Structure 1
Amino acid sequence: MDAHEQSEVFYNELHGLVDRFKEEFDMTYMQLIGVLEMYKMEMFCEAMSVVLSNSEESDDDDDSPEWVNTK
């Protein structure tokens, strides 16, 4: 399965989940969007944490000062 197909399956599963919660729990669009926004923010923070930790690891590998002109 390629990346496009994976994204499509994820979208369809997410769509079904949102529909189920909207119907079974009688959630409003505002509630659903609020929860999705909170989860989006959580995922963003997690991704930034990974990026920053990878950046720090690559900085540790380089012993030269950042301010040195390499020209």
Structure 2
Amino acid sequence: MISKIFITKFAETLTSTPFKEYVDLAIFLGSAVNGRWVKGKSDIDVIVFLSKSGVEGKIYEAYLTLDKQLDTGLLD
């Protein structure tokens, strides 16, 4: 399922450079986690806890880039 791939890849992104020193925890919620996700209708909810600020915009960009790469339809 594409939502599971998105979650895995986004989690990998958050734990890699340059984000790993900023991200304390990421929690994925909702339909993407419980198997009810529908392409083009559902979003992928994530809460990212940061130890310090400065990467919020870059994390959002990474989220949007992954959406485009996987064609998840999050922004449709």
Q: TM-score, normalised by structure 1?
A: 0.31
Which has the larger share of helix?
1
- Larger Rg belongs to: 1
Higher relative contact order (CA closer than 8 Å, sequence separation 6+): 2
